[in-house]
């Protein structure tokens, strides 16, 4: 998972990053709320871990901005020294998914993160997923459009399914590359463009068929549902 971290105290930021990275997550640490919000305008993350007390914008204000401005807000876990009941209530009302107090306990933090993902994730997908005329068989890695099978490679299938599962959601290039090719893969963005082009052509993703791929300049792509 891609995790953004907002913590202005350097040693705590390093500790948080090390704990989260040890569980296999990709971390994006920030010490400024404004810089985090700027990053989130162009990048997609699965969760934000944030402190309440940061110098420029409070963690509470960041939560409100995320829930109001992002079409699909990531999960939010607040980590702070503030333990008063009214603070906890304010964080949840602003949009936090969970709230834990410092000092950090690594095992408890990772357990809370896992619990949030389990609680907020969609139910397990079945073998077949249907999106309009597009029928994805996740066991066979096969897409059928009405009764015709589209000749997709394994990467094209994974990319197409990712787009359909995130219908109408703007996905950054880095998110698409990491999700389809993996964190450690050394893949150039041109490879993504080529695969998008092939998926668009093979699945005939155009407005007349109910779905279209929209390129987002300097950011990534979005699959939109459209009227026939």
| 16-69: pLDDT as tens digits | 999 999 998 989 999 999 999 999 987 888 999 999 988 888 999 999 999 888
Same domain as 109, residue 14: yes
Quick one: 145 exposed, middle or buried, by C-beta within 10 A (0-12, 13-18, 19+)? middle
Same domain as 27, residue 52: yes
Domain boundary among 120, 150, 180: 120
Q: What band does 77 get if pLDDT is binned at 50, 70 and 90?
A: very high
pLDDT on residue 117: 86
Q: Is 217 helix (H, G, I), strand (E, B) or coil?
A: coil
Is residue 121 pLDDT above 80, yes or no?
A: no
pLDDT on residue 124: 53
Is residue 144 pLDDT above 80, yes or no?
A: yes
Quick one: 122 exposed, middle or buried, by C-beta within 10 A (0-12, 13-18, 19+)? exposed
Quick one: 33 exposed, middle or buried, by C-beta within 10 A (0-12, 13-18, 19+)? buried
Q: What band does 126 get if pLDDT is binned at 50, 70 and 90?
A: low
The CATH number linked to 42 is 3.40.50.2300
Same domain as 35, residue 95: yes
pLDDT on residue 106: 92
Same domain as 9, residue 102: yes
Q: Checking DSSP bridges between strand 134-137 and strand 148-150, what pairing results, if any?
A: unpaired
Calculate the average pLDDT of the chain: 88
Domain boundary among 57, 87, 120: 120
Same domain as 99, residue 72: yes
Total domains in the fold of the chain: 2
Same domain as 106, residue 40: yes
Same domain as 219, residue 136: yes
Q: What band does 141 get if pLDDT is binned at 50, 70 and 90?
A: confident
Same domain as 168, residue 73: no
- Taking only the tens place, the pLDDT of each residue in 80-93 is 998 888 999 999 99
Same domain as 55, residue 148: no
Domain boundary among 90, 120, 150: 120
Residue 5: strand pairing partners? 29, 49
Same domain as 95, residue 25: yes
pTM score: 0.65
213 closest CA partner among 228, 227, 204, 224: 224
Q: Which domain holds residue 170?
A: 128-225
- Where helices occur in the chain by DSSP H, the ranges are 10-22, 33-40, 59-69, 85-94, 106-120, 154-165, 173-181, 189-202
In eight-state DSSP terms, residue 46 is: S
Most confident of 5-14, 35-44, 66-75: 5-14
């Amino acid at each position: 998972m891609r995790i953004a971290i907002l913590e202005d105290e350097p040693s705590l930021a390093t500790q948080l990053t090390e704990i989260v990275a040890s569980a296999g997550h990709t971390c994006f640490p920030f010490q400024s709320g404004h810089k985090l919000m700027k990053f989130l305008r162009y990048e997609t993350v699965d969760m934000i871990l944030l402190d309440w007390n940061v110098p420029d914008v409070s963690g509470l204000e960041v939560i409100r901005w995320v829930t109001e401005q992002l079409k699909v807000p990531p999960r939010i876990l607040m980590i702070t020294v503030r333990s008063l009941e009214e603070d906890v209530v304010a964080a949840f009302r602003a949009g936090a998914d969970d709230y834990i107090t410092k000092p950090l306990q690594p095992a408890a933090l990772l357990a809370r993160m896992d619990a949030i993902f389990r609680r907020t994730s969609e139910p397990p997908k079945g073998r077949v997923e249907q999106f309009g005329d597009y029928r994805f068989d996740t066991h066979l890695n096969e897409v059928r459009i009405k009764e015709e099978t589209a000749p997709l490679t394994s990467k094209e299938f994974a990319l197409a399914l990712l787009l359909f599962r995130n219908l109408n959601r703007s996905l950054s290039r880095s998110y698409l590359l990491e999700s389809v090719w993996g964190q450690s893969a050394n893949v150039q963005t041109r490879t993504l463009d080529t695969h998008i082009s092939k998926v668009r052509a093979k699945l005939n993703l155009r407005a007349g068929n109910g779905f279209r791929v929209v390129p987002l300049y300097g950011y990534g792509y979005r699959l939109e549902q459209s009227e026939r």
